[in-house]
Structure 1
Amino acid sequence: MKKVFFITTLLTFIALAQAKRMNVILIMADDLGYECLNSYGGESYKTPHLDRLSEGGMTFLNAHSQPICTPSRVQIMTGKYNVKNYKKFAYLDPNEKTFANYFKDAGYKTCMVGKWQLAGGVDQPYHFGFDQYSLWRIMKNDNQSRYPNPGIVENGKFKNYQNGEYGPDRMNQFALKFIEDNKDEAFMLYYSMLLVHNPFEPTPDSEDWDPEAIGLDNLKDGFKGKDNTKYFSDMMSYMDKQVGRLVATLERLGLRENTLIIFTGDNGTTRGITSRCQGKEIQGGKGLTSDAGTHVPLIVNGPSYVLKGVKNSNLIDFSDILPTICEATDISIPTEELDDLDGLSFLPQLKGQKSQVREWVYCWYQKRTDASKVIQFAMNKDYKLYASGPFFNLQKDILEKNRLKYDKLSPEEKKIRQQLKQVLKKYENN
């Protein structure tokens, strides 16, 4: 009898311990620069739900991605700079290990919804650690609509929605069901949003929403249809609304305080979009290595130890996400694998503790339009040095129009240039 009681008590203790493990939700909007959000001084769109996350958490003012989607996705999922593991556009090397692999190995329930665009077929998300998924752009030559009447693969099965469904809604519903189904488990959700990438089309909240529309993604090039930048504002509002639905679900289930939420964008805003931010007009820079191409929002909100309403100006890049969420959940990374990561955990910063902060960001970027062209740079908060030579003062020249001449540099600028040169040299032989 005592033995049975002991076993029952032990199992109960284990169950309670597991229930206390923190949940993690990583949300990444598609083509969203920092200038679009109110919490960064954005004036063109309304983002009330993200504003509340910012007010109740920490907002990083100097977070940087890669210039376009696949390089960013590879970096954020593996914690490594592209120089080490980027093979080609729309592809993730199956030999790599992602944050989902670490979470799954640690007993977490894992899920990914949204945009895949990493090749490998319908089994590849399982290989990279996701128990469940609802994804767009996962099959070879997949050019289905992402918005009205979408084509989506859910847990290995292709579903061609043709009854007025909206792709982002379908993904959102799948994510909410995953949370509901696993409310008593520790879970990790990677929410790789479809919004706000072009084509710019009406949302279900737009006055001219058409539930019978044929999504522009699966039509021939050259068809203009309703691909109009005037819908970008509607898409921003809808994206924000979906974040609000997720937060409301966590609150309803009593999971809010035990869930770490990270929100970011995969690269700068589409170049056809100009937004007003802090009194200035800022043109999106997707695909560019300038600030407008890599400077993205990063909002972290969660348990009581995350400082509230703090604006953090320290440098962060996408390689930092993996070690941060693993440290936050006490998931250990083998020493040899940890040594190969390029990220630096910013968990202590979330707690307001003294910690090591990133002094520089490095970027190795292979252009999609010309795979033979690789651009490399290293930067700190004030200066940027390209491997090809150009050196810029970012505080005075954010658009990088005026190269600094070496013979005109101050002693301090020469010192900074040399420091950034050493960063570039560090990755020469990778």
Structure 2
Amino acid sequence: MLRSRATMKRLLLILSTLAIAHASFAAQPNIILIMADDFGYECVTSNGGESYQTPNLDKLAATGVRFENCHVQPLCTPTRVQLMTGRYNVRNYLNFGTLLRTETTFGHLIKSAGYATGICGKWQLGHEVDSPQHFGFEESCLWQQTRRPPRYANPGLEYNGAEKDFTHGEYGPTLVNDFALSFITKNKEKPFFLYYPMILTHSPYQPTPDSPDWDPTISSENKQQSPKHFAEMTAYMDKMVGRVIAKLDELGIRDNTLLIFLGDNGTGAGTPSRFKGTDYKGGKGSTTANGTHVPLIASWPAVMKQGRVCADLISSTDFLPTICNAAGAKVPENVDGVSFLPQLKGEAGTPREWLYSWYSPRQTQDMTVREYAFDHRYKLYRSGKFYDLRSDSAERQDIAASVTGEAAAAKEKLQAALDRFKDARPTELDREFEASGKGKEKKGKKEKKKGKE
């Protein structure tokens, strides 16, 4: 009898331990962060877009949370640095194409919480072979890591730093998506974090494998370029998102997977679209809404039981604390981001009163800075220019000299926000940029000929 009781106690202890372990695992969702390249808010049908087909994104929005006011940096590298570090560019942005190796990223933080980590898509944050692993990603499949080959038909990619060229009609976005599906499958039994900064829909606007004029022999980004292909590239991007969702369903892990989709900046400058009954031109590179307003859709079936729309202001710095909170990872004290995990759960959270931006592309020796803060209606630049975004989203009429009442109060609030960052820029960063800038002017001009990223 005593032996039987001892055996029963051991059995109960084992079962209790297993239950705790299972509960801990269940509390850690898989996390997939997908970011489309040069893809503005106006491009998604559920946002009011009228020019493109985005059925998979629309379905995500209908069953998850669609955010109406997510703003990022006007250019890709500045956004990627903010997204990965949770810190404003004023604190850690050196120059275009660089992520300081001293920075802590969400890759580091989520890996430390016991997650398998992977990254696939566009890198553009340093040419070191070990860059992805250095920043916390155990596996990688990247374009433009160690070099800059074609990205679409017959591309060149790096798999865990090893260069591989494709010459038999392969399509870069499909190869990257194949890696994503393989990573998900390989890690289906444990929590994983996949950061998927897509190659699409950046120019050159070329045919996809689903286009009528697809040519698998093309090996140059200078051929078959036409604005008409942007719609086809958007459809193919949406198709790749659909493949990820289908794989999660197939593996039975969709419910406990937090999937987040956003754009890295506005659509390519001048790209024409129809949005809510009006003409809308892509504004990449501009600090107006056309350059910073991007789609943000989140889906997590275990938590989100029905579709919702959220009007809260969201910054590209907010993704690190959000996914860290979801994963149970510690958020560093020096981040600027505010977690919107409560909003994902249907709670009020701590909505932002304003968004802040320090923007300086630094693709060449140009050190020009545009610094501003804005809320749902008003926008104030460090220069003193002040705009009513509700009536003047293109920022054509500076009203700083004639504000009263609500506008005056908003201006005072936004000035206080700017004052918080008056001395935030480390002087050594600008000295380092100037010191390392020899020859950058020529390199910048060369890159411009290829097409800005």
Do Structure 1 and Structure 2 share a fold, with TM-score over 0.5? yes
| Alpha carbons 1:75, 1:82 under 8 Å: kept | yes
Question: Offset of 1:231 from its aligned partner?
Answer: 0.5
User: What is the aligned-residue RMSD (CA, Å)?
Assistant: 1.6
Question: Offset of 1:298 from its aligned partner?
Answer: 0.3
Is there any run of 5+ residues in structure 1 with no aligned partner, and where? Answer: 217-223
Could you give the per-residue CA deviations for residues 336-370 of structure 1, whole angstroms, max 9, x where no partner exists?
x22x1111111111222232110000000003355
Q: Secondary structure at the match of 1:229?
A: coil
Q: Secondary structure at the match of 1:60?
A: strand
Partner of 1:274: 272
Find the aligned partners of 1:184 and 1:92 in 2 and give their Cα distance.
32
Q: Secondary structure at the match of 2:140?
A: strand
Partner of 1:16: 22
Partner of 1:328: 326
Partner of 1:416: 410
Could you give the per-residue CA deviations for residues 184-230 of structure 1, whole angstroms, max 9, x where no partner exists?
010000010000000111100011111111131xxxxxxx4211111
Partner of 2:383: 388
What is the identity, as a one-letter code, of the residue corresponding to 2:65?
M
Find the aligned partners of 2:325 and 2:285 in 1 and give their Cα distance.
32
Question: Offset of 1:15 from its aligned partner?
Answer: 5.0
Q: Which moved more, 1:314-323 or 1:1-10?
A: 1-10
Q: Secondary structure at the match of 1:257?
A: coil
Q: Secondary structure at the match of 2:230?
A: helix
Partner of 1:152: 157
What is the identity, as a one-letter code, of the residue corresponding to 1:283?
K
Question: Offset of 1:411 from its aligned partner?
Answer: 2.3
Rg larger in structure: 2
Partner of 2:355: 361
Question: Offset of 1:414 from its aligned partner?
Answer: 1.3
Question: Offset of 1:182 from its aligned partner?
Answer: 0.5
Name the CA shift for 1:123/1:6 in 2 (closer, same or farther; >3 Å).
Answer: farther
Confirm whether residue 58 of structure 1 aligns to residue 55 of structure 2.
no
Q: How do 1:80-229 and structure 2 match up within 5 A?
A: 80-139=87-146, 142-216=147-221, 224-229=222-227
Question: Offset of 1:52 from its aligned partner?
Answer: 0.1
Question: Offset of 1:118 from its aligned partner?
Answer: 0.1
| Alpha carbons 2:113, 2:328 under 8 Å: kept | no
Q: How do 1:306-325 and structure 2 match up within 5 A?
A: 306=304, 308-325=306-323
Question: Offset of 1:310 from its aligned partner?
Answer: 1.3
Name the CA shift for 1:294/1:370 in 2 (closer, same or farther; >3 Å).
Answer: farther
Question: Offset of 1:12 from its aligned partner?
Answer: 3.7
What is the identity, as a one-letter code, of the residue corresponding to 2:22?
L
| Alpha carbons 1:136, 1:153 under 8 Å: kept | yes
Name the CA shift for 1:11/1:135 in 2 (closer, same or farther; >3 Å).
Answer: farther
Name the CA shift for 1:276/1:370 in 2 (closer, same or farther; >3 Å).
Answer: farther
What is the identity, as a one-letter code, of the residue corresponding to 1:317?
S
Partner of 1:291: 289
Find the aligned partners of 1:279 and 1:47 in 2 and give their Cα distance.
18
Question: Offset of 1:327 from its aligned partner?
Answer: 1.1
Could you give the per-residue CA deviations for residues 355-406 of structure 1, whole angstroms, max 9, x where no partner exists?
2110000000003355310110000010000001110000000000011042
Name the CA shift for 1:379/1:230 in 2 (closer, same or farther; >3 Å).
Answer: same
Q: Secondary structure at the match of 2:255?
A: helix
Question: Offset of 1:330 from its aligned partner?
Answer: 1.9
What is the identity, as a one-letter code, of the residue corresponding to 1:215?
S
Q: Secondary structure at the match of 1:275?
A: strand
Q: Secondary structure at the match of 2:391?
A: coil
Could you give the per-residue CA deviations for residues 71-128 of structure 1, whole angstroms, max 9, x where no partner exists?
0000000000000110110000111111111111111000000000000412010011
Could you give the per-residue CA deviations for residues 116-159 of structure 1, whole angstroms, max 9, x where no partner exists?
000041201001110100001111xx220100011000012110
Partner of 1:221: none
Question: Offset of 1:11 from its aligned partner?
Answer: 6.4
Partner of 2:373: 378
Q: Secondary structure at the match of 2:207?
A: coil
Q: Which moved more, 1:162-171 or 1:308-317?
A: 308-317
Q: Secondary structure at the match of 1:191?
A: strand
Partner of 2:82: 75
Partner of 2:33: 26
Partner of 1:256: 254
Name the CA shift for 1:148/1:387 in 2 (closer, same or farther; >3 Å).
Answer: same
| Alpha carbons 1:307, 1:352 under 8 Å: kept | no
Partner of 1:220: none
What is the identity, as a one-letter code, of the residue corresponding to 1:424?
L
Partner of 1:425: 419
Question: Offset of 1:25 from its aligned partner?
Answer: 0.4
| Alpha carbons 2:110, 2:329 under 8 Å: kept | yes
Partner of 2:235: 237
| Alpha carbons 1:307, 1:351 under 8 Å: kept | no
What is the identity, as a one-letter code, of the residue corresponding to 2:224?
K
Find the aligned partners of 2:203 and 2:104 in 1 and give their Cα distance.
30
Q: How many residues align?
A: 416
Question: Offset of 1:272 from its aligned partner?
Answer: 3.1
Confirm whether residue 349 of structure 1 aligns to residue 355 of structure 2.
no
Find the aligned partners of 1:70 and 1:51 in 2 and give their Cα distance.
27
Partner of 2:446: none
Find the aligned partners of 1:119 and 1:331 in 2 and give their Cα distance.
26
Question: Offset of 1:8 from its aligned partner?
Answer: 5.5
Name the CA shift for 1:17/1:40 in 2 (closer, same or farther; >3 Å).
Answer: same
Could you give the per-residue CA deviations for residues 150-173 of structure 1, whole angstroms, max 9, x where no partner exists?
100001211011111100000000
Find the aligned partners of 1:60 and 1:385 in 2 and give their Cα distance.
23
Question: Offset of 1:308 from its aligned partner?
Answer: 2.6
Partner of 2:433: none
Aligned-residue identity in percent: 46
Question: Offset of 1:10 from its aligned partner?
Answer: 6.6
Question: Offset of 1:307 from its aligned partner?
Answer: 5.5
